[in-house]
Structure 1
Amino acid sequence: MARLNKGILDDFSGKVGKVIGSSWRGIAYMRSIGRKTGKAKTLNQEIQQAKFKTASSFGQSMHDLFELGFKDYAQKMTGTNYAQSIILKEAIIGDHPDFKIDYSKVQVSKGKLTKAKTPAVAPGAAGAVVFTWTSNAGQKTAKANDQSILVAYCPELNETMFVIGATRDTGTASFDVADFSGKAVQTWLSFITANGKLVADSTYLGEVTVA
């Protein structure tokens, strides 16, 4: 139970009557307690909840990546929430209740930095995945020292690994994903500037099985 020391204008956290106080990113807010209802969910409500659950489960596996990749687009929400809203609109496929993610329609980053040119992925040495691309440094906003963002998501484990590594001018990078050995992973490639201020639209590269 919360207590107001300065009247209704006081910030508080907890429950006062039918109002709950909390804060998010330093902003205090209040909300009313929802009323319980005995009504059964409609089919449409069940469908929307199932889609949300699918998007949320996938999104949480990429939480840290989404916070980085959508930092310039998440206004008054987290990068993960922004990404999940796009996934719900564009990347959910299947019929109720068996919804799935269309990975080819998922972006893991979005921004004004020039994206990768002719990117590709292939299995590497044991436990590794090799990413390649053509350096387009000097074109538009691309610079030689932009750093690659290599992403591998394992649907079987619902886990994501990503690393910020090789620069744009190198044209290749090996990503150690030994935790996913013997399993199929979905992959993406993006770039971020050396100072971390700009990110590029990611490119989905497809599925590869880790040796």
Structure 2
Amino acid sequence: MATYNKGILGAFSGKVGPVVGATWRGKYVMRSLPKKGNRLPTEFQQVQRTKFTMVTEFLSGIQPVVKRYFGRENGTKTRRNQAMSYLIKEAIVFNDPDYEWDYSKILISKGDLLGIDNGQVELGTDQNIDLSWINNSDQGEALATDKLVVVVYEPTLKATVYSLNASTRSSESVTLELPNYLSGFKVHVWATFASEDDAFVATSHYLGSVTLS
């Protein structure tokens, strides 16, 4: 990959002869066209592709959460990149003959703010789930006004529901209404806290699963 100044021809995007033009992080770049090959992927490559597909599908449903709350932008690795790297390495297990999620290891956020204390999820009425936790504000940097961020995931439909401001740390409980199409399905739930201005975020916790009525 090479960068270039626009010059007399100006910037371009797409294939031109043996090269492809594009922009990357605000720079104009050119890449040579990939060479076609008929080599079969190795077992390791097949595994990585399977994991990559799983993670991409999961992250596509929670982009606003990950883009705000997973680690810190460092100029070379976006928050989404950090989330993808973590999930591929830590949150997928082999259960012969398939690769599956270890839901307890999935993170939706990563940071240094004090996290949720004794978080619980239970089935509520109709399509509701009830979340509860202990108010641990004023410990460390935690404040009563910190926002509760929640992600709900149903793996069969690959459906995701999330809230960036479901409640506050001091509230100690909240009821979330889920869409009717999830009736009868088991959903997995994660929660975390973020400061009002999004400057600080906690590492998320897996609260467990609930089968909706």
TM-score, normalisation: structure 1: 0.89
Q: Is residue 2:90 matched to residue 1:93? A: no
Q: State which drifts further: 78-87 or 128-137.
A: 78-87
C-alpha contact 2:71 2:82 (8 A) present in aligned 1: no
Q: How far did 1:25 drift?
A: 4.2
% identical equivalent positions: 33
What SS does structure 1 have at the residue aligned with 2:170? helix
| Aligned residues of 1:188 and 1:206 also touching (Cα < 8 A) | yes
Question: Does residue 187 in structure 1 map to residue 189 in structure 2?
Answer: yes
Distance 1:132 1:93, change over 3 A: same
Tell me: CA distance 1:139–1:152, structure 2 relative to 1, closer, same or farther (3 Å): same
Letter of the structure 1 residue corresponding to residue 31 of structure 2: R
| Alpha-carbon displacement from aligned partner over 1:82-114 (angstroms, at most 9, x marks no partner) | 212111101111257611111111100011211
Counterpart residue number, 1:44: 44
Number of positions where the alignment pairs a residue of Structure 1 with one of Structure 2? 207
Matches of residues 152-167 of structure 1 in structure 2 within 5 Å?
Answer: 152-163=152-163, 164-167=165-168
Q: Are the equivalent residues in 2 in contact too, given 1:131–1:174 (CA < 8 A)?
A: yes
Query: Which amino acid counterpart does residue 168 of structure 1 have in structure 2?
Result: R
Cα gap change, 1:93/1:190 in structure 2, threshold over 3 Å: closer, same or farther?
same
Q: C-alpha distance in 2, partners of 1:44/1:142? A: 43
Q: Distance in 2 between matches of 1:89 and 1:74?
A: 20
The residue number in structure 2 matching 1:177 is 178
Q: 1:74 to 1:101 in 2, by over 3 A?
A: farther
Q: Distance in 1 between matches of 2:6 and 2:73?
A: 38
What amino acid does structure 1 have at the position aligned with 2:177?
A: D
Inter-CA distance 173–24: structure 2 relative to 1 (3 Å threshold):
farther
Name the SS for the 1:84 alignment partner: helix
- Residue of structure 1 in register with 2:102 after alignment: 102
Equivalent position SS for 1:136: coil
Task: Give the gaps of 5 or more residues in structure 2.
Answer: none
Shift of the alpha carbon at 1:30? 2.2
2:26 & 2:137 partners in 1: Cα distance?
40
Whether the aligned pair in 2 keeps the contact of 1:115 and 1:202 (CA below 8 Å) is yes
Contact kept, 8 Å, 1:47 with 1:96, in 2: the verdict is: no
1:151 to partner: Cα distance: 1.5
After the TM superposition, list the runs of 4 or more consecutive aligned residues in structure 1 that deviate by more than 6 angstroms: none
- What letter corresponds to residue 37 of structure 2 in structure 1? T
Q: Considering only aligned residues, what root-mean-square deviation do their CA atoms show, in Å?
A: 2.1
SS at match of 1:151: strand
Mapping for residues 79-158 of structure 1, pairs under 5 Å: 79-95=79-95, 98-158=98-158
More divergent stretch after superposition (70-79 vs 114-123): 70-79
5+ unaligned residues in a row in structure 1: which ranges?
none
